[in-house]
Amino acid sequence: MPKATAPVEAVERAQALRRQIEDANYRYHVLDDPDIADAEYDRLMRELEALEAEYTELAGDDSPTRRVGARASGGFAEVVHAVPMLSLGNAFEQEGDTDREKYREVADFERRIEQTLGRRQPVFSVEPKLDGLAISLRYEDGVFVQGATRGDGAVGEDVTANLRTVRAIPLRLRGEGWPRVLEVRGEVIMPRAAFEAFNERARAAGERTLANPRNGAAGSLRQLDPAVTAKRPLGFFAYAVGRVEDGELPETHSATLGKLREWGFPVSPEVSTAKGFEGLIAYFRRIGEKRDSLPYDIDGVVYKLDDYEGQEEMGFVSRAPRWAIAHKYPAQEQMTTVEDIEIQIGRTGAATPVARLAAVQVGGVTVTNATLHNADQIARLDVRVGDTVIVRRAGDVIPEVARVVMERRPAGTVPWKMPDTCPVCGSELLREEGAAAYRCSGGLICGAQRKEALIHFASRRAMDIDGLGERFVDALVEFDMVHTPADLYALTVDSFVRMKTLADERDGSTPETVRQGKVATKWAENLVASIEASKKSTLPRFLFALGIMHIGESTAKTLATWLGSLAVVRRTPAPVLRVLPDIGDEVATSIAAFFGQEGNEKVVDALLEAGITFADEGAPSPKLRDRLGLDVLLEAAKVPKLGPKNVALLAKTYTSVQDLVAAGEHNWIIAGVPAAAAANLWAFVSDPTNYRKLTNDFLDMAWLLGQLPARAATTLPLEGHTYVITGTMETLKRDDATERLESLGAKVAGSVSRKTTGVFAGEAAGSKLDKAKELGVPVYTEADLLALLTGHGAAP
Ligand SMILES: NC(=O)c1ccc[n+]([C@@H]2O[C@H](COP(=O)([O-])OP(=O)(O)OC[C@H]3O[C@@H](n4cnc5c(N)ncnc54)[C@H](O)[C@@H]3O)[C@@H](O)[C@H]2O)c1
Ligand SMILES: [Zn+2]
């Protein structure tokens, strides 16, 4: 019984609830950016309804329990709905043992209809409750003329232009017999696959993701630019009619849906009819089982009394019909707190941040972990340990953190940072080239990647171990017989027989190897032979087989041709690797990080000890030397606090480390290096170990070991070029200039011909200049000549 006067706490609580609900309505319906989960909203709404039921005086007409949605704001023209667009009453599962207890609200709903109409077992149209955005479509003479959102139920927004871009909405009715004026109501949805694809792309591009398909649909439809809507793959299902003029509809809702189908509207294939309470619950269960596999989100099912006469008799309460109810499933989004953020390493080394959550029921399943996708996504959502977040689990996709409830952020949280190392093996985590993903660089030693590393190592284009496929690798790893590829070379016929026996035991089958009293070993002998045969390999195959991140077959070939031997590849620092063709920053870093890892080094050593040899090892390419400028050496030496700008400056002025050191600190400063940086560099090169490192170590691997011809033997920079000097030069004597050009390999000729590379013309140049112009030979100034001679200019 309603009580007469409400205590002050109840009044205050009701006020607080109304404020919260109105706020949520605005964010959800107007901004398409809710900040609490639907389940939380429903809880608040229920609490308010209960209070208002207990103290009737609290239930004013302006209460959100009496109103639908929210009045939209700005952007679109208003549309007054000829027939209001209402909401639906809700039924949730309650405590109880029997269906009638658990689904008490559905039972009450059905009983009220039976009693009011004096009918047993009424027939209902039963439909999935699509989680999208309600719209009304107006057709006049069979032509789509206007489409509107629900808004506050009385007034919606005119989104006709956007709706025209939704393919599922007919612009013209099919068939015949439609009323002259027909309003069709239904739900615009974003299919789950389209939603996932959209977010995948957004995450890759570092853009904002959609919180859920409903927000995706609503946000897409309420775009001011229809071109944006057109790019979003929206779907539509019709489920009701509004205004009808000059025409007849069937007598039942289900028959009307049949007509709508005929007229070209998509109607959900899950729509059906059911009788009485048992029929409703059977449908609820049937769709509930299908829920995860449906291509779109649903948040419940809707039961509608099927005949219009009965509907009319039942009538309405303030915001919803009495002849229909929404029976809700467990929510697909819930609020919970982040207890920790950890990194999970996948079998290919991909590092995925995962939120450890306070356990929560989502869509009927207990969720304790949710993916955060990647570091960029965490930064974008700004998820922190301690935050309250909304987790979403829909279909068979893994639960994800959809957003943070900022209002509930506790004090003292700190932004999350990607760790530097793999939690499984301690190797460096490296950012993938051009992508948001990080990967563990410890391919050979990382427990998380063991199987994948072995399968790759044995694969045809890598070490080509015939017969050692995924099944065997799985078993070898499972029975702890192989940890790294090097362990493969210790396997014997006996090891394989043991592996097979263990696998048979695990599967509960009679060990096949010992069937018929004798052990079959031919297959194991073959495998051992394949492993043995793989020892004779090539350097590119081996480098590829190591599974170094970013190293495909072509990079492996580049490394082999340019560096010649495994020993050199292993010792080459990243700045030197970077000068090789098609090896960028990330690739160079990845190779150097791989070989800089003690564990990987041990595995490589073990592989060599096992007897792997390469038929094609040799010396580094002579072309390498030309690519190793002073800048590369300085960078590779990691001179502290020198900075790329200073490195570039020094490399412009000096050509070798010896030159550089001979010039001395003072001259570096004159050349433009700040005194502090110069002092640092001086201190660095004054240390004998460093000096040796700079002059020997990197080069040591190549020409200082005598494998590379010295620079003198390589071609000179101006070889093959012929120049002519004419006129009077201001600073250079012509003889000096000739000598210096010749020392760089050029020829200096006395007359201009077609073969002349270029003419250097000073003051008062005469006929030679004219001849050059006539033949189209390029003419240069004295400044050009100076630049060329001091190595600051390209060979003209
Ligand atoms: N998270 C938040 O902040 C927040 C705020 C406001 C509302 N909400 C959510 O919205 C709900 C309330 O919104 P509501 O008033 O639109 O009610 P509702 O969404 O629960 O039910 C009415 C709506 O159901 C839809 N529907 C789907 N399939 C249908 C079918 N076959 N037949 C008829 N209608 C169908 C229509 O869009 C209709 O307008 C809440 O329960 C909550 O889940 C959330
Ligand atoms: Zn690892």
Question: May I ask the CATH architecture of the domain 333-405?
Answer: Beta Barrel (2.40)
Percent of the chain with pLDDT over 90: 58
Atom of ligand 1 nearest to the CA of 133: 37
pLDDT at 792: 47
Res 698: pLDDT: 53
Residue 39 alpha carbon, nearest atom of ligand 1:
43
89-328 domain in CATH 3.30.470.30?
yes
Please report the pLDDT score of residue 665 as a whole number: 84
Residue 90 CA, closest ligand 1 atom number? 20
Q: Identify which ligand lies nearest to the alpha carbon of 267.
A: 1
Amino acid at site 222 = R
pLDDT of 517: 57
pLDDT in tens, 78-107: 999 999 999 999 999 999 999 999 999 999
Helix or strand or coil: residue 354? Answer: strand
pLDDT value of position 512: 61
Residue 694 has pLDDT above 80, yes or no: no
Instruction: Express as a percent the part of the chain with pLDDT over 70.
Output: 94
- Which protein residues are within 6 Å of ligand 1, measured from CB? 24-25, 27-28, 34, 36-38, 41-42, 68-69, 87-88, 127, 129-130, 134, 150, 187, 239-240, 302, 326
**pLDDT surpasses 50 at 775:** yes
Q: What CATH architecture does domain 419-607 belong to? A: Orthogonal Bundle (1.10)
Cα separation, 789 vs 737, in Å, equals 8
309-361: pLDDT as tens digits = 999 999 998 889 999 999 999 999 999 999 999 999 988 889 999 999 999 99
**Coil, strand or helix: which one is 360?**
strand
The closest residue, in CA terms, to atom 19 on ligand 1 is 87
To the query of whether residue 129 is one of the catalytic residues in this protein, the response is: yes
pLDDT band at 708 (very low <50, low <70, confident <90, very high): very low
**In three state form, how does the secondary structure of 433-455 look?**
CCCCCEEECCCCCCHHHHHHHHH
Ligand 1 test: best mutation among 29, 38, 284, most atoms within 8 Å of CB?
Answer: 38
Q: What is the pLDDT of residue 397?
A: 80
Q: Whose CA is nearest to atom 11 of ligand 1?
A: 38
Cα gap 653→348, rounded to integer Å: 46
Residue nearest to atom 29 of ligand 1 (CA): 129
4's tokens: 């007469």
Is 446 annotated to bind a ligand? Reply is: yes
Which residue CA neighbors atom 44 of ligand 1 most closely? 38
The length of the chain is 796
What integer pLDDT is reported at residue 730 of this predicted model? 84
What is the rounded CA–CA span in Å between residue 319 and residue 263? 30
**What is the whole-number distance in angstroms between the Cα of residue 498 and the centre of ligand 2?**
29
Ligand 2 centre distance from Cα of residue 466 (Å):
27
pLDDT score at 704: 33
Nearest ligand for residue 425 CA: 2
Q: How confident is the model at residue 622 (pLDDT cuts 50, 70, 90)?
A: confident
- Lowest model confidence (mean pLDDT) among 170-179, 335-344, 646-655, 735-744: 735-744
Q: What is the pLDDT of residues 467-479, one digit of tens each?
A: 998 999 999 999 9
pLDDT tens for 261-306 read 999 999 999 999 999 999 999 999 999 999 999 999 999 999 999 9
Q: What pLDDT digit, counting tens, does each position of 36-73 carry?
A: 899 999 999 999 999 999 998 888 888 899 888 888 77
Lowest mean pLDDT segment, chosen from 164-178, 356-370, 519-533, 729-743: 729-743
154: Cβ–Cβ under 8 A, 6 or more apart, which residues? Answer: 80, 81, 84
Is 38 marked as binding a ligand? yes
The one-letter amino acid code at 248 reads E
Q: Ligand 1: distance of its center to the CA of 787 in Å?
A: 75
The answer to whether the CB of 156 falls within 8 A of the CB of 84 is no
Closest-CA residue, ligand 1 atom 30, reads: 129
- The alpha carbon of 87 and the centre of ligand 1 are apart by a number of angstroms equal to 7
> Residue 691: what pLDDT?
77
Residue 289, annotated ligand binder? Answer: no
Predicted pLDDT at 750: 87
Instruction: Determine the angle formed by the axes of helices 643-653 and 675-686, rounding to 10 degrees.
Output: 70
Q: Both tokens of residue 319?
A: 């915001």
The answer to whether the beta carbons of residues 304 and 253 sit under 8 Å apart is yes
13-27, 266-280, 543-557, 627-641: which has the minimum mean pLDDT? Answer: 627-641
Contacts of 398 (CB under 8 A, 6+ apart): 370, 371
- Ligand 1 closest atom vs CA 28: 5
User: Which one of 187, 189, 253 would you pick to mutate in the ligand 1 pocket, going by the greatest count of ligand atoms within 8 A of its CB?
Assistant: 187
pLDDT at residue number 4: 61
Q: Checking phi first, is residue 676 left (phi over 0); if not, alpha (psi -120 to 50) or beta?
A: alpha
Indicate if the pLDDT at residue 635 is higher than 80: yes
* The predicted structure's pLDDT at residue 158: 96
Give the ligand 1 atom nearest the CA of 69.
Answer: 15
Ligand nearest to the CA of 392: 1
**The whole model's pTM is what?**
0.70
Structure tokens at 693: 């490192």
Best substitution site from 18, 22, 23, 41 to test ligand 1's pocket, by max atoms within 8 Å of Cβ?
41
CATH assignment, 722-789 = 3.40.50.10190
Instruction: Give the model's confidence band at 709: pLDDT under 50 very low, under 70 low, under 90 confident, else very high.
Output: very low
Per the annotation, does 439 bind a ligand? no
Residue 707 clears pLDDT 50, i.e. is over it = no
Q: Which ligand is nearest to the CA of 597?
A: 2
What does the H/E/C string look like for 473-484?
A: HHHHHHCCCCCC
Please state, in angstroms and rounded to a whole number, the distance separating the CA atoms of residues 757 and 735: 19
Q: What pLDDT is recorded for position 511?
A: 64
Mean pLDDT on 138-163: 96
Residue among 3, 102, 129, 451 flagged as catalytic: 129
What whole-number distance in Å separates Cα of residue 150 and Cα of residue 506?
Answer: 60
Distance 15 CA to ligand 1 centre (A): 23
**What pLDDT sits at residue 166?**
95
**87 appears as a binding residue in the annotation:** yes
Average pLDDT over the chain, rounded to an integer = 89
Task: Write out pLDDT tens, residues 535-585.
Answer: 999 999 999 999 998 899 999 999 999 998 998 898 888 888 999 998 988
Mutate which of 66, 88, 332 for ligand 1? The one with the most ligand atoms within 8 Å of its CB, which is 88
The closest alpha carbon to 363, from 48, 21, 37, belongs to 37
Atom of ligand 1 nearest to the CA of 86: 39
Nearest-angstrom CA–CA distance, 37 and 337: 13
For domain 8-66, the CATH architecture is Orthogonal Bundle (1.10)
Residue nearest to atom 23 of ligand 1 (CA): 87
Q: What is the pLDDT of residues 223-274, one digit of tens each?
A: 989 999 999 989 999 999 999 999 999 999 999 999 999 999 999 999 999 9
CA 58 to CA 49: how far, in whole Å? Answer: 10
Nearest CA to ligand 1 atom 9: 38
Atom of ligand 1 nearest to the CA of 304: 32
Rounded to an integer, what distance in angstroms lies between the CA atom of residue 723 and that of residue 747? 6
Number of H helices, E strands in the chain: 33, 24
Residue boundaries of the structural domains of the chain: 8-66, 89-328, 333-405, 419-607, 619-713, 722-789
pLDDT higher than threshold 60 for residue 763: yes
Residue 793 has pLDDT above 60, yes or no: no
Query: For residue 712, is pLDDT > 50?
Result: no
Task: Read off φ and ψ for residue 186, nearest 5 degrees.
Answer: -175, -170
Ligand 2 centre from 444 Cα, in Å?
Answer: 9
Which numbered ligand comes closest to the C-alpha of 325?
1
Residue 714 has a pLDDT of 44
697 is in an annotated binding site: no
Pairing of strands 272-275, 613-614: unpaired
Ligand 2 centroid distance, CA of 422 (Å): 5
More confident residue, 794 or 452: 452
- Tell me the CA–centroid distance for residue 197 and ligand 2, in Å: 29
Is 616 assigned a ligand-binding role in the annotation? no
**Residue 440 known to bind ligand:** yes
Q: What is the model's pLDDT at position 516?
A: 55
